[in-house]
């Protein structure tokens, strides 16, 4: 725990409290002195100067923050669409900063220049059509331009046609880790359903082999429980065993019904899928990522690729992008040989949310094909 930081916060809070207490004392002393006319030219001038100083201090504080922590912002995008995202970001933030730097001095400057004076009287203006049209039309045009620009970028990024000829990968979220599933040689991911989740089938993939394994496991449990039911004498335990048998029979029926509802092509598609705990991506190749969640809403966030998509229970979502810089190239660019791309959860999903991450490695096409062949061989050995 950083005690120096905590001490600074406490001191800052004490200074703020002291400041307001001093103001309160001045107010009370004025009442005791029966000074009915507390607003004077002198007080207006002091307040105007304080407001002017605070306004320029705010602008100076912004530039100080930019100089102090500007190096912490995300580095160059490592994906094709990331360039568009950054262009939208720079356009929006650039406009905001320009308006901030121009309007803040004007706002606080006018507050000082046109402060209250005994010799000055305020003019009441009910409305001014020209001014109202001007300050309504200009922001409307600017904001409409930003919205159209944003919609164009978002349309390009989320175009469903982008998924054509892309490498198919599914990312499965659950508290508090990620698992990835690569399509095999057919480049088709098998069907998956959360109700098929089991220790032997952690992603709930629906294939013939998985169906036979899970159906068989349930059949074994049912047979064992029926044998226990015959010799059990305790009425409470007999009821518990009978309920468990009924649940497992119901689960068998659900497995069978769902399995029979999908096509043979879908059943076969998942047989050659490869399950891994690290993402390997080939550079300059389109990747279509599908996302599912087992429990709560998660959000798959890949900051360096400017990609993010919610993972919703019971729903499959998708994001397509093309990595443009390998991990090794980005390490050289940053001068950090230990750098890794990461996939984070960007939704607070529980007490270990902060630790929900997955390593992403972007490699050359040749390295990717070699890695994929190794994973396929490992899967075959496990299934033997």
Q: What is the DSSP string of 25-62?
A: HHHHHHHHTT------HHHHHHHHHHHHHHHHHHHHHH
- Summarize the confidence of residues 12-25 as an average pLDDT: 84
Vertex 356, ends 350 and 358: CA angle to 5°? 160
pLDDT at 107 over 70: yes
pLDDT at 346 over 70: yes
- Output the average pLDDT for the chain: 86
Q: What percent of the chain has pLDDT over 70?
A: 96
What is the spatial order of strands in the sheet that 298-302 belongs to? 279-282, 357-363, 341-345, 298-302, 307-311
Q: Name the nearest CA neighbour of 205 among 251, 262, 167.
A: 262
- Summarize the confidence of residues 88-115 as an average pLDDT: 90
Q: How far is residue 134's CA from residue 339's CA, in Å, rounded to a whole number?
A: 50
Which pLDDT does position 383 carry in this prediction? 62
Q: How far apart are the first and last CA of the chain?
A: 51
* Check whether domain 166-183+273-384 has CATH 2.60.40.420, yes or no: yes
| 3-state DSSP assignment of residue 358 | strand
Which pLDDT does position 178 carry in this prediction? 93
3-state secondary structure 171-229: EEEECCEEEEEECCCCCCCCCECHHHCECCECCCECCHHHHHHHHHHHHHHHHHHHHHH
Q: Which residue has the tokens 């923050």?
A: 65
Token pair, residue 178, equals: 């990620």
H or E element in which residue 168 lies: strand 167-174
Q: How far is residue 175's CA from residue 162's CA, in Å, rounded to a whole number?
A: 30
- Summarize the confidence of residues 107-115 as an average pLDDT: 87
Chain segment 282-303, per-residue pLDDT in tens: 999 999 999 999 889 999 999 9
pLDDT at 38 over 70: no
pLDDT at 269 over 80: no
- Summarize the confidence of residues 333-350 as an average pLDDT: 92
Q: Name the nearest CA neighbour of 330 among 343, 340, 320.
A: 340
Per-residue confidence at 79, pLDDT binned at 50, 70, 90?
A: very high
Strands 307-311 and 298-302: antiparallel
Cis peptide, bond prior to residue 224, ω within 30 of zero? no
Which range among 57-61, 254-258, 274-278, 312-316 shows the weakest confidence by mean pLDDT? Answer: 254-258
DSSP assignment string, 320-333:
EE-B-S-HHHHHHH
Chain segment 25-37, per-residue pLDDT in tens: 777 776 666 555 5
The residues spanned by each domain of the chain are: 39-117+128-157, 166-183+273-384, 189-272
Q: Name the nearest CA neighbour of 229 among 193, 221, 22, 329.
A: 221
């Amino acid at each position: 725990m950083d005690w120096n930081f905590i001490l600074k916060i406490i001191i800052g809070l004490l200074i703020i409290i002291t400041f307001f207490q001093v103001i309160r004392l001045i107010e009370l002393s004025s009442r005791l002195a029966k000074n009915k006319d507390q607003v004077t030219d002198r007080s207006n001038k002091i307040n105007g100067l304080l407001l002017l100083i605070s306004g320029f201090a705010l602008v100076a504080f912004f530039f100080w923050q930019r100089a102090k922590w500007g190096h912490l912002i995300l580095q160059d995008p490592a994906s094709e669409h990331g360039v568009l995202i950054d262009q939208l970001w720079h356009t929006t933030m650039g406009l905001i900063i320009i308006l901030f730097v121009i309007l803040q001095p004007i706002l606080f400057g006018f507050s000082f220049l046109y402060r209250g004076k005994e010799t000055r009287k305020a003019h009441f203006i009910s409305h001014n059509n020209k001014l109202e049209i001007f300050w309504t039309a200009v922001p409307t045009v600017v904001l409409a331009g930003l919205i159209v620009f944003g919609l164009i970028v978002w349309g390009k990024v989320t175009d469903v046609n982008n998924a054509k000829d892309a490498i198919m990968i599914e990312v499965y979220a659950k508290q508090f880790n990620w698992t990835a599933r690569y399509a095999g040689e057919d480049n088709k991911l098998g069907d998956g359903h959360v109700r098929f989740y089991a220790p032997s089938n952690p992603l709930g993939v629906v294939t013939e082999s998985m169906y036979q394994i899970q159906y068989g496991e349930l059949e074994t449990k049912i047979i064992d429980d029926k044998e226990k039911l015959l010799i059990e004498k305790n009425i409470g335990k007999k009821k518990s065993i009978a309920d468990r048998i009924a649940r497992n029979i119901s689960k068998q029926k659900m497995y069978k019904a769902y399995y029979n509802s999908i096509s043979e092509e879908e059943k076969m598609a998942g047989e050659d899928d490869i399950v891994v705990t690290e993402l390997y991506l080939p550079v300059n190749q389109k990747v279509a990522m599908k996302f599912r969640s087992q429990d709560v809403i998660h959000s798959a966030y890949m900051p360096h690729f400017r990609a993010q998509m919610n993972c919703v229970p019971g729903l499959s979502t998708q994001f397509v992008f093309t990595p443009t810089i390998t991990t090794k190239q980005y390490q050289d660019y940053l001068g950090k040989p230990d750098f890794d791309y990461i996939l984070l959860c960007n939704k607070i999903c529980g007490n270990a949310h902060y630790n929900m991450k997955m390593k992403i490695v972007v490699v050359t096409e040749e390295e990717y094909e070699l890695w994929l062949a190794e994973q396929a061989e490992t899967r075959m050995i496990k299934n033997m």
